[in-house]
Structure formats: structure tokens, C-alpha cells
Structure 1
Amino acid sequence: MNTPSPSATGSISSSESDIQNQERYAIYFALPTDHPVYRLATLWLGYDVCTGRHIEDFEKTVYHRDLDDLANFSTNPKKYGFHATLKAPFRLQSGKNIEELESALEAFSKNFRAFKCKPLKIKKIDKFLALMPVKSCKKLNALASECVTTFEDFRAPNTEVERARRHPENLTPNQIELLDKWGYPYVMDEFRFHMTLSNRLKKEDVKVVRKCLKQLFRSFLGKSFHVDQICLFHQSSYHEPFKLVKRYPLEG
């Protein structure tokens, strides 16, 4: 018998509620805080994931006056901050602790050299807009795959509710296999490096939000960027925003 999802029952079990209150970690790429793209993206999202500071006074309509409140288009990425996922958010496996994770990240970062990536552009991925390299980067893909496999021992298995949040009914067979093996469907051959800037958008909103983002980042689109560090992020519970814990320079 299939276990009903929270949406079907209208509530969640006490055990699932406990899991939602557990802290999570994630391994991300994040630009330095003094990088102009990071500063602009932080203003756009209204949240600085590196300091945990919320920014409420940025008037986004200055970039496109056809929209009254562009903040409504970035509520989901605001929670996660401006980043690119290397290993998706996970709860720590029983028997593992943060000190061991940090030590493993320290060792891992010494085995990779910094590298340059292709220029960035605003692209639509699924139904949201993100900053992505104009072409796929082999070194970046390899780094992401290594993050997924190396730190898998730290990841607690997904619960049924956590798995359901990935909407397996909308995934391909390959993505479902990856979800069940690694806890996330967009890894390995399904990985596409991206730094999310919007919620999933209605078709009629994509054009105007894209225009706004192109104007905001116009000075930096088409320029290459460096991947010279990976970052550990922390979330105190499922409903709280993420925050930077530490940066690990790639020193291999």
C-alpha cells in the first residue's frame, strides 16, 4: 500500500514534523561577497546568504516599471540565497557530525585546482531563470560529481516526504534513479550548473523578468568567471533560510 503524501492527508506525521525541524547542510558554489555579480544578485533576491542579512529596501521596479513588485518572482531562491548547487541540501547521517564534514571538505578542497569557466548569461532552465555558463564546463561538471559522491556518506536517506518534494511523477526514469541513489535528481549526467534568480514563472512573465535581469547584470554578461572555492551552507530548519558556514579555497 502506498503511504499518502502530506498534500493528500492535509497534514504531516509527527516524525515528519520532527525531520522538518532538523538542520540541513549543503555544498554550494558561491561567488565572493565583493564580486559585483554577487552584490547585484543579493540585492535582487533581498537576502545575503553569506551574512544572513535580509535586504528589504531595494526597489526592483527601477529596472522595469511594467511590474509593481518584482520581489514576488524571487521568493523561493531568496530562501536558498545566490548560489549554485554542488551537493543538494541534506540532513546529516546518524553517527556523523559537523566537525567531520568540515574536515572532509578541507581535505577535498586541497585536491582540486581553481579554474576559469565560460561566460555567464541569463537562461531559462525548466520554468525559472538563472545565470548559467553559455556552454557546459567539463571541469565544473566533474567538481559537482565529485562533491555528490565524496560526501554521500554524510547524507541521511530521504524520507518519503522528502522524496515526494522532488515530484518524482514529473521526472524521467533516469532522474528517478538518481534521486533514489543520491537523494537529488539533477546530478551526474543530469547536472546543469546554474545560479537561480527566479521562481518558476508563468509563460507570460518570463520575457519581462528576463529583460529586467539582463538589464541588471548587463555589465557582466558575456564575461568568464573563476571557480576557486566551494562553500558549506547551513539551514537551522526546513522553513529557515540558508546561511554560509565556511568557504574552502580550491588549492590542489
Structure 2
Amino acid sequence: MNNLLVTPRYAVYFSPDKLSPWWALGSHWLGRDEHNDAPLQQPALEGISAAELYNITQEPRHYGFHATLKAPFRLAAGQDEAGLISRLGTLASRLRPVPLGPLRAATLGNFVALVPEASPDRLLDLAAACVTELDDLRAEPVPSDRLRRRVETLDAREIELLDRYGYPYVMERYRFHMTLTGPVEQSVAARVTDAVASQVAQLNATNPMTLDRLCLFVEHAPQAPFQRILDLSLHA
């Protein structure tokens, strides 16, 4: 049997606390609770039907509501989940929370995501630490992993980062985003942005988001949905 059929992939993400109104917004928008892989009621929207919303959120629903800090990876030979959790705990103990400031829905390429209106202080350093300080635990990508990254769309620096860290959008190319849709036409993206604008503005005013935890997600088998198995708070 091909070991890749049973080898899990792990990812280090940020996702708000389950009691946070931001988590309620994002998880219900995607229609899934990533803690227990349970479906959630998606919102009723003007201008976007229930069927359309379900379809355009299918891709991000697989991963759960999150922002990537270290992209999905398999563990190297000799490494295990317990060791990863221990190392992640050590890292979390040294990192300070990062206030993200106001967020907005924006189109990134062909999808819609929540992004900070301005680049927060220390965010790039935190994301870089998650990439570099856990990288010795990561197995080298297999050919299918590289195909997933659509190398033909990357520039020389992104290919360099992909080869070094297994993901092209790290270090100075990192951009914090919490994905709301898969690929959509520009007209659909505009309707999505309008649909979430008022709720995002309200949460910015009443509950500004802080990156206050590292979350460990796991994909137990290829095509299985990612599940959130651990939150580690940042206190330093």
C-alpha cells in the first residue's frame, strides 16, 4: 500500500476561539465546524442563493475557517505527532499575540478573503517563525504536492521559497488572509464582499481580531477534511 494513502498532513493555522463572533461568522459562512467536522447552517443572504453559497465555499470548507501560518506538510521520517505538539508548544510560549487591526473582505487573485486593512507589526516575524522553526519536522514534498502549487504561475522567488520551505507564500511573500470562497468570477466576488461588509465592520468595532493562538490542524488521509485538534495560546 502507498504510505501516502495513510500518512496525515498537518498544518499550523490561526483560527479564532470557538466562542469568538469572528469564528461564528467564518465557520457559518463556510458551513462547517472544523473541530468536529460537523456541518453548520450557512447564512441566508440577499443576492447569493443557498446553492451558490454552498458551491463557492466548497474549497475553503475542506480546510475550515483559518489563516495559514505553516502550510500543510507531512512529518519527516522519525517524527511523530507528539513531537510536533511539543515543538509547537515551545514555539507558542515564545510568541506574543498580534493585534490584526480592522479586517476587510478583498479579492486576492480569483478568491475572496478577509485581510487586514494595514500590515500589522510583528505579523511577518510571527509567520516566519512558524515556517522556519518547525521546518526540520517536515518531509520533503512529493510530486503531487508540487503540482498542487501550480508552479507555472509562480515567479522565481516563489519557486525558491517553494523548494526551500514547501510553500511559495512565506517570508516576505506572506500575506495573512482568511479565505471565504474558492475561485469565483469578479462579479461573484463583488457580491460576496458586499454580503459580509456590514458584519465585518461591526466586528471590527466591537471585537477587533487578535492573532492570539497557534492551531494545529490535521488531514488524516488524502481528501479528508482538515480537523482542528489543538489550540495553543500566545502569552509572551
2: CA distance between counterparts of 1:46 and 1:171?
31
Which residue number in structure 1 is paired with residue 91 of structure 2? 108
Query: CA, structure 1 residues 224+27, in 2 after alignment: closer, same or farther (shift >3 Å)?
Result: same
1: CA distance between counterparts of 2:208 and 2:122?
14
> Is 1:203 aligned with 2:159?
no
Secondary structure of the residue aligned to 1:220 is helix
> Is 1:32 aligned with 2:14?
no
Of 78, 86, 95, which aligns to 2:78?
A: 95
Of 35, 39, 50, which aligns to 1:54?
A: 39
> Is 1:237 aligned with 2:201?
no
Cα offsets for 1:41-70 (capped at 9, x unmatched): 111111111232122x43x4x212453521
Of 137, 150, 163, which aligns to 2:120?
A: 137
Contact 1:118 1:135 in 2 (8 A): yes
> Is 1:182 aligned with 2:165?
yes
Shift of 1:134: 0.3
Shift of 1:136: 1.1
Contact 1:63 1:215 in 2 (8 A): no
Secondary structure of the residue aligned to 1:123 is strand
Which residue number in structure 2 is paired with residue 214 of structure 1? 197
Secondary structure of the residue aligned to 2:122 is helix
Of 149, 153, 156, which aligns to 1:170?
A: 153
1: CA distance between counterparts of 2:5 and 2:161?
23
Cα offsets for 1:57-89 (capped at 9, x unmatched): 43x4x2124535211111000000000000000
Query: CA, structure 1 residues 207+22, in 2 after alignment: closer, same or farther (shift >3 Å)?
Result: same
Contact 1:229 1:248 in 2 (8 A): yes
Of 32, 39, 45, which aligns to 1:63?
A: 45
2: CA distance between counterparts of 1:174 and 1:186?
10
Cα offsets for 1:102-143 (capped at 9, x unmatched): 111111111112232221111111211111110112311111
Cα offsets for 1:223-245 (capped at 9, x unmatched): 63212111111111120111111
RMSD of Structure 2 on Structure 1 (CA): 1.7
Letter in 1 for 2:11: A
1: CA distance between counterparts of 2:195 and 2:99?
27
1: CA distance between counterparts of 2:130 and 2:70?
6
Letter in 2 for 1:244: R
2: CA distance between counterparts of 1:216 and 1:180?
39
Letter in 2 for 1:88: A
> Is 1:228 aligned with 2:212?
yes
TM-score (norm 1): 0.87
Secondary structure of the residue aligned to 1:176 is helix
Q: State the identity %.
A: 33
Aligned residue pairs total: 234
Point out the structure with max Rg over C-alpha. Answer: 1
Contact 2:22 2:209 in 1 (8 A): no
1: CA distance between counterparts of 2:37 and 2:186?
32
1: CA distance between counterparts of 2:179 and 2:5?
23
Moved more, 118-127 or 143-152: 118-127
1: CA distance between counterparts of 2:95 and 2:138?
22
Letter in 1 for 2:218: H
Shift of 1:22: 1.9
Which residue number in structure 2 is paired with residue 250 of structure 1? 234
Contact 1:87 1:144 in 2 (8 A): yes
